[in-house]
Structure 1
């Protein structure tokens, strides 16, 4: 089995754990998940951004992001949503590429993955397509590069699944999963775990 297939399969398995938890404990969040991205839309993302990481191909095959239309955000992944395909392309072309150019970093195999606000990304992460490692961008364009982050995207997702299943946040984390009226939330200082 190739590394790409392993990353693809691990992403599906981690997401299945998250979605199983949502169905049981946060049914409103689960019901609001969008349908899959059309294969032609995913192909257009590859044409616009270059080779796509298997993690995003797996997630977009299930849901076209985890954001939803309207004022509310789902924020399934610790207050982050997976970019819908169109928003990932927009972030790549209008934010990531601009920041890389401004910092004289050249082209990188980085693809935007998740953001706290996918339609206006300020806090967002990205996947290094080659390695699957997770990188972060924060306000003012400061990067935590994938080699510095110490985690892979799928490892981050697996950690979130474990937090949901275990009923608490990671050691030292201020964010804890809560459910309010059937919606998952990750709020500092407010912890109500279902079950």
Structure 2
């Protein structure tokens, strides 16, 4: 089995755990997930951005992002949503390319993955297509490169799935459910075990 297939399969398995939890504990969040992106849309994104990481191919094959048009955002992944394909392309061309040019870094095999606001990304992450490592954009255009973060995108997803399954531990953001919707906030929340 290739590294790409392993990354693809691990992504699907982690997402299945997340979705299973949503179905049981946050059914309104689960019901709001959009359908899969059309294959032609994913292929057009690859033409625009270059080869896609298998993690995003897996996720977009299930859902065209986790953003939605209702009040607020779904923010299933620790207050982040998976970019819909079109928003990822826009972020890649209009934000990431500009940051790379400003820092004289040239083209990188980095594809935007998730953001707190996918239609106007300020805080977002990206996947290195070659390695699967996760990079982070932060305020004022500064970012943590994938080689610096030490995290992989699929490892991040697996960690979120584990936190949902076991419940909150330690300080910081905790998952909770309010009126059937998943929430991630600091402090205390109703958490269904």
TM-score range, shorter chain: over 0.9
2:112 is aligned to 112
Give 3-state SS (helix, strand or coil) of 1:130's partner. coil
1:100 is aligned to 100
Distance 1:71 1:99 in 2: 30
1:174 is aligned to 172
RMSD: 0.8
1:72 is aligned to 72
Per the normalisation by structure 1, the TM-score is 0.97
Gaps of 5+ in 2: none
Distance 1:14 1:136 in 2: 20
- The alpha-carbon deviation at position 129 of structure 1 amounts to 0.2
- The alpha-carbon deviation at position 139 of structure 1 amounts to 1.3
User: Where do 1:49-60 residues align within 5 Å?
Assistant: 49-60=49-60
Distance 1:27 1:36 in 2: 19
Distance 1:15 1:190 in 2: 25
1:33 is aligned to 33
2:123 is aligned to 123
- Please state if 1:13 is matched with 2:20: no
What is the number of equivalent residue pairs in this alignment?
A: 193
- The alpha-carbon deviation at position 61 of structure 1 amounts to 0.2
- The alpha-carbon deviation at position 134 of structure 1 amounts to 0.2
Distance 1:187 1:50 in 2: 35
- The alpha-carbon deviation at position 191 of structure 1 amounts to 2.4
Gaps of 5+ in 1: none
My pick for the range that moved more, 123-132 or 182-191, is 182-191
Distance 2:157 2:70 in 1: 25
Q: Find runs of 4+ consecutive structure 1 residues off by over 2 angstroms.
A: none
- The alpha-carbon deviation at position 64 of structure 1 amounts to 0.1
Distance 2:149 2:88 in 1: 21
- Deviations along 1:120-151, one digit per CA (max 9) or x if unpaired, are 00000000000000000011110100011111
My pick for the range that moved more, 183-192 or 31-40, is 183-192
